[in-house]
Amino acid sequence: MQLGMASALETLCGQSYGAKQYHMMGIHLQRSWIILSSCAVVMLPIFLFTEPLLVFIGQDPKISAVAGVISVWYIPIMFANVCSFTLQMYLQAQSKNRIIAYLAILNLSTHMFLSWLLTAKFQFGLAGVMSSMVITLWIPAFGQLMFVFCGACPLTWTGFSSQALTDLFPVVKLSLSSGVMLCLETWYSTILVLLTGYMKNPEVTLDALSICLNINGWEMMISIGLLSATGVRVANELGAGSARRAKFAILNVVTTSFSIGLVFFVFFLLFRGKLSYIFTTSEEVAAAVADLSPLLAVSILLNSVQPVLSGVAVGSGWQSVVAYVNITTYYLIGIPLGAILGYVLGYHVKGVWVGMLLGTLVQTIVLLFITIRTDWDKQVEVTRQRLNRWFIDGNREKAASSGSP
């Protein structure tokens, strides 16, 4: 939810940067901090009272107790994400990606070391795992804050401003739309696992499905990277007033991503279950993975296009439209079809997955249709109107803060 809400900043900062309204990016960043921090505070009771809530809905008391401990540890992680996610969007809009990559490498290496030290060496168990997560997730947050505050973004960060407290409602609306859009996509794949857990022989099925989803997740990282690149590029070009360059960027990234997906599609059709031995030694699980590999290959092919089209939506500010598309295609088409194919017609996990793939296919076709049919010259005008409506004169703001007439 937090990552989705932060993606609203990708729209606002990307378009402001393209329009050379550089000082507005700092104001948008501060508005996003206010909104995401407020949401984090509202969510605090859920994390504080996870254990009694889980017991109330009938979960095992022992599991609920452990979940309650983990939830409390997640509170500082939640606030670290407020800083990290928003600053990442703010920096990406300016193509300052190198610092994000450096901090990610530092984060990963520190996390590996602390996890070994606190769990394997000192045997701190769950507390060691969670404390290492808390420490390492604050590394990119502090690192990016220092990078911005120490003058690395002189045009876009001019200090804290009271103007960030104005015009919050439109930003709240866009942030919530972005959060809902991402949550609907994330929950969709989770429901596949949930539906599979109620089938016969769920241990082998879930093992095989977990391997497939893990592989799919690895490949998905490429598409997510292209999603971010698309969102930034489209937002920059729309803000700069160039419909032609925005369309060229979309065509270029969609073609590149689809080509990568096609290579992986063929690769997984050829190797099928052989890749499962990276994760397991069980012949039964490997056979189940081989049986699911064609569906995995199709998923990878669809996921090479769908995230890029979502990136176009983020860059254009269409998050609310995509949220409605996701509800319809995922939850009114994909999941019901999967349940019918898997449980009613007896195709089990393959039926569930096929139904959900059909939902993803329909969603991809709809997003592709919207993208092709969009009048990008009109979209440039819509972007210009949005930027002008939220524009704050930087010189007048400085004069007000200094007390000049």
Cβ atoms of residues 329 and 362 within 8 Å = yes
Burial class (CB in 10 A: 0-12, 13-18, 19+), 150: exposed
d(CA 175, CA 163): 18
Asked if residue 404 belongs to a domain, the reply is no
- Cα distance between the two ends of the chain: 43
For residues 9 and 24, membership in a common domain is answered with yes
Mean pLDDT of residues grouped by 10 in the chain (405 residues)? 82 92 93 93 92 82 86 93 93 92 93 91 88 93 95 92 87 85 78 66 70 80 85 92 93 91 88 74 80 86 88 90 90 89 82 87 93 93 87 57 42
User: What integer best gives the mean pLDDT of the chain?
Assistant: 86
Using the 3D structure, point to which of 121, 137, 170 is the last residue of a domain.
Answer: 170
What is the C-alpha to C-alpha distance for residues 222 and 52, in angstroms, rounded to an integer? 40
User: Cβ distance 184 to 326 under 8 Å?
Assistant: yes
CA distances from 85 to 48, 88, 194, 328 (A): 23, 5, 28, 28
- Do 128 and 262 belong together in one domain? no
- Quote the domain boundaries for residue 32: 1-170
d(CA 296, CA 220): 12
Same domain, yes or no: 166 and 183: no
Work out the angle between the directed axes of helices 126-147 and 98-115 (0-180°, nearest 10): 160
What is the model's pTM?
0.84
Could you give the number of structural domains in the chain? Answer: 2
List of residues 6+ apart from 359 with CB closer than 8 A = 188, 329, 330, 333, 334, 335, 337, 338
Rounded CA separation 159/105 (Å) = 28
Per the listing, tokens 């920096």 go with 91
Q: In this structure, what are the phi and psi dihedrals at residue 173, rounded to the nearest 5 degrees?
A: -60, -45
Looking at the domain assignment, is residue 400 inside a domain? no
For residue 127 the two structure tokens come to: 């507390």
Question: Last residue of some domain: 170, 196, 224?
Answer: 170
93 and 39, same domain (yes or no): yes
- pLDDT tens readout for residues 119-161: 888 888 888 989 999 999 999 999 999 999 999 999 999 999 8
